[in-house]
Amino acid sequence: MKKIVLLFVISCLVFSVKAQQNVTAMRAADSLSPRWCFDINLKGGMQSQNFTANNFASDYLNAVNGAIGKLNYTNGMSYGFDFQLGYFFDKKRHFGIGAGMMFLLEQGDLTMDQFHIEYQSADAQSPVSQTFRQLITADGPIKETIKSSSINVPLLLKYKTQLSRKLGLGVDAGVLFNVQMRNSYSSNASFDYEAIYKFTNTGSGYVAVYDNSPSPDQVNEQFITRQQVSKESANVQAYFNNLRSQGYNVGLNQSPNHNSGTVTYTGSIGYLVQSSVSYKLSDYLSLNLGLYYFMQSLDNSANNKNYKLTDKVGSYNSLMNSVSTVQNSSYGLNLGLRIYFDKKLMDYLLFDEPLR
Specify if 253 maps to a domain: yes
The average confidence (pLDDT) of the chain is: 86
Count of the separate structural domains present in the chain = 1
Specify if 11 maps to a domain: no
Q: How confident is the model at residue 7 (pLDDT cuts 50, 70, 90)?
A: very low
Distances (CA, A) of 257 to 130, 188, 232, 316: 25, 12, 29, 8
Which tens digits make up the pLDDT trace of 8-32? 344 444 434 443 444 444 444 566 6
Specify if 254 maps to a domain: yes
**Is 60 exceeded by the pLDDT of residue 350?**
no
Q: How many Å apart are CA 210 and CA 164, to the nearest integer?
A: 79
Specify if 10 maps to a domain: no
Specify if 8 maps to a domain: no
What residues contact residue 89 under an 8 Å CB cut-off, 6+ apart? 35, 95, 96, 97
Specify if 7 maps to a domain: no
CB neighbours of residue 104 within 10 Å: 21
Assessment of whether the complete model's pTM goes beyond 0.85: no
Give residue 341's pLDDT: 86
Which tens digits make up the pLDDT trace of 85-115? 999 998 888 999 999 999 999 999 999 999 9
Domain containing residue 118: CATH number: 2.40.160.20
CA angle, 72 then 139 then 302, to 5°: 50
Specify if 153 maps to a domain: yes
300/278: higher pLDDT: 278
Specify if 292 maps to a domain: yes
Domain range holding 67? 33-351
